[in-house]
Amino acid sequence: MQDISDINYTKENKRPIVMRALRRSNVRKKIAEYLFEISPSGSYTSEIAYSVKTTPTNVIGAIRGMQSRYREEESLISLNIVEETTGGKDIKLYKLTDFGKEIIENLKM
């Protein structure tokens, strides 16, 4: 599968791929919905895991991709739904992008 972050993809071309990825994984969907609820703030892995009732490993897989379980090209970062920021020393915070907010708003309708 081609990388979704490729410059040739427009928002309208990404939308069906993003929706499919969210339908295929409840963890991805719950993470995106949680980040939507706390937006514009971000959160770190273990807090997200606690809030969506899963393990930090599953959260990392859904957000960044994991070889065996979560495809990297369908990760929330690759789909441009979530962005990673650094919050101080070795702390990675994740928050929803504007495109991610649009997607979750459409899901909630």
Whether residue 7 is predicted with pLDDT greater than 50 in this model: the reply is no
* Cβ count near 10 (within 10 Å): 8
End-to-end Cα separation, the chain, in angstroms: 30
Separation CA 3–CA 57 (nearest Å) = 23
- Higher pLDDT among residues 37 and 7, named by residue: 37
Whether residue 5 is predicted with pLDDT greater than 80 in this model: the reply is no
- What percent of the chain shows pLDDT beyond 70? 89
Q: What are the structure tokens assigned to 22, written together? A: 């969210």
How wide is the angle at C-alpha 81 spanned by C-alphas 26 and 99, nearest 5°? 125
pTM check: above 0.95: no
Q: What is the DSSP string of the chain?
A: ---TTSTT--HHHHHHHHHHHHHH-HHHHHHHHHHHHHTTS-B-HHHHHHHHTS-HHHHHHHHH-BTTTB-GGGSTTTTTSEEEEE-SSS-EEEEE-HHHHHHHHHHH-
- Segments making up each domain of the chain, as ranges: 11-108
CATH code, 11-108: 1.10.10.10
Q: What are phi and psi of 14, to 5 degrees?
A: -75, -35
Whether residue 1 is predicted with pLDDT greater than 70 in this model: the reply is no
Instruction: Give the pLDDT confidence of 44-93 residue by residue, as tens digits.
Output: 999 999 999 999 999 999 999 887 778 888 899 999 999 999 877 888 99
